[in-house]
């Protein structure tokens, strides 16, 4: 999702994005919506939030588990 779209969603929730990163902005939106603020924290691409609108972006940048 494009950052301008994300900022627009944040604005609708009353979130001031200023110098926030994309990930921090999305996590703030998740909290404002009453959801887990888990964006970008999936390990090895595993996520059980199948209906999340951020899922594709999240899994693209998710953390790889170090063995």
For residue 11 the two structure tokens come to 């604005």
In a domain, 66, yes or no: no
In a domain, 10, yes or no: yes
Q: Residue 43 pairs with which residues in a beta bridge?
A: 63
In a domain, 29, yes or no: yes
CA distance 2 to 27: 15
Q: Which pTM value belongs to this model?
A: 0.85
3-state secondary structure of 63: strand
DSSP code, position 35: S
- What's the number of domains the chain is made of? 1
The reported pLDDT for the residue numbered 34 is: 95
What confidence tens digit (pLDDT) does each residue in 27-42 have? 999 999 999 999 998 8
In a domain, 24, yes or no: yes
In a domain, 26, yes or no: yes
- Location of structure tokens 């996590």: 27
Containing domain of residue 8, as a range? 3-60
In a domain, 65, yes or no: no
For the chain, what is the radius of gyration of the CA atoms?
12
Residue 11: half-sphere exposure toward Cβ, Cα within 13 Å? 7
In a domain, 56, yes or no: yes
């Amino acid at each position: 999702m494009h950052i301008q779209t994300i900022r627009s969603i944040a604005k609708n929730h009353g979130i001031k994005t200023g110098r926030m990163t994309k990930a921090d902005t999305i996590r703030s939106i998740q909290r404002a919506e009453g959801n887990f603020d888990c964006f970008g924290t999936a390990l090895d691409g595993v996520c059980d939030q199948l209906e999340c609108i951020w899922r594709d972006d999240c899994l693209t940048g998710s953390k790889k588990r170090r063995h």
